[in-house]
Amino acid sequence: MNVMPKAVFAKAASGDVCSRTAEGMTYRADGSTQAVSWQVPEETPVALQFNSEPFTVMMATPTDLRDFAIGLALAEGILPDPSQIIGVLVMPVENGVTVDIAVPEAAIEKSRLVRRAIEGRSGCGLCGVEDIDAALRPLTSLQRTWTPSPAAILTAAASLSEHQPMNRLNRSVHGAAWVSPDGEILLVREDVGRHNALDKLIGALVQADIDRASGFVLMTSRCSYELVQKCVTAGIGALVTVSAPTALALDIAKSANLFLAALQRDAVVVLNT
């Protein structure tokens, strides 16, 4: 039986950096070569279940999977009240990991348990849903009382790399950071998929009982509409990304009253106040 290596599952359970060494050769234009060792991130199928009923399989970095499951359930509107979760079981299985969320059936928003036709790839936030309504769900307008200052955003952006241990090794994973109003980074989660990183961060906020209206999210990725939907659904009022949003992401942010900004070298572009 081809079971996920114990070392990888240990990282999945503990939240340590999930990377492995890959040996290769560098070939330069002048014809010279050099042996090189790269750190590459783990990417593993993660099957998510609710009360042992399959929901979807996502490709993800197998770390902070409890955060991942809780965050995805909230961000996708499946569990509007994550405090009702009874338990989360992370189990190694053949070729991957299964994460099972135990919750009262009455707590589940059944309309959001959309059957996925294909697996969720690491770069995909909403793979395989079967109709347009499932992709573009209605959102409640946020009630915001403050907005991040440009100074706080730039302060957080300058220190973000210091809080990404996995990316320091492999330079190929996304980070999602929770930032205080004064620009202090309080939590970071990493993953090969930007959507996964945000789900993990949201799950971590839930488990730490942090007020999701008390700070903002800073992400190392572009801003797609799924990230906007996840933040709004989770009650997060402000999102900052390293590049400009898509037109759809901006439209959804405006209609939901989500503060949206993007980094531009040593400046901040505020797109929706």
Q: Hey, where are the domains in the chain?
A: 44-135, 150-272
Percent of the chain with pLDDT over 90: 69
Q: Answer whether 44-135 and 150-272 agree in fold.
A: no
Complete DSSP assignment for 182-221: TS-EEEEEEESSHHHHHHHHHHHHHHTT--TTSSEEEESS
- Determine how β-strand 185-191 pairs with β-strand 216-219: unpaired
Confidence (pTM): 0.86
A 10 A CB-CB count for 153 gives 22
Q: Say whether pLDDT at 257 is over 80.
A: yes
Query: Which is the catalytic residue, given 18, 124, 127, 231?
Result: 124
pLDDT at 7: 39
Determine the pLDDT at residue 266.
86
* Alpha carbon 88 to chain centroid, angstroms: 18
Annotation marks residue 18 as catalytic = no
Cα(99)–Cα(89) distance, rounded to whole angstroms? 6
Residue 128 scores a pLDDT above 50 = no
pLDDT over threshold 90, residue 113: no
Mean pLDDT rounded to a whole number for the chain: 86
Q: What is the mean pLDDT of residues 28-37?
A: 92
**pLDDT in the model for residue 183:** 97
Longest distance between any two alpha carbons in the chain, whole Å: 66
Where are the strands (E) in 103-203, listed by range?
174-179, 185-191
- Domain at 44-135, CATH class: alpha beta
Secondary structure percentages of the chain, helix, strand, coil, to 5: 30, 30, 35
Q: Which CATH number does 150-272 carry?
A: 3.40.140.10
For residues 266 and 127, the model is more confident at: 266
Mean pLDDT over 30-49 rounds to: 90
